[in-house]
Amino acid sequence: MFKFLNSTPARVVTILLVLQGALLYSSIRPEAVPPGQPLREFPRALGSWDLPRAWGKSDASTKTPSSQWM
């Protein structure tokens, strides 16, 4: 059934594929993911953008102390 695998070209191709797979697998490096900062350290305002206004709320309308957003 698999008599073609006994031929020299099939063996060469098999060896090349195994070597290529080993080379590819050995070249993979783990991804370096930098640690993230806590979300509470994110600034409440960036330029003209303000977090409570972006959510459709303001400290005056909700009568909520601004410390809740931090």
Query: Would the pTM of this model clear 0.85, i.e. be above it?
Result: no
**What are the tens digits of pLDDT across the range 11-48?**
999 999 999 999 998 888 888 889 988 888 877 777 88
| CA nearest to 59, candidates 47, 41, 49, 50 | 50
Neighbours of 59 (CB within 10 A): 15
- State residue 13's pLDDT score: 93
- Residue 67 reports pLDDT greater than 80: no
Average pLDDT over residues 51-56: 70
DSSP 37: P
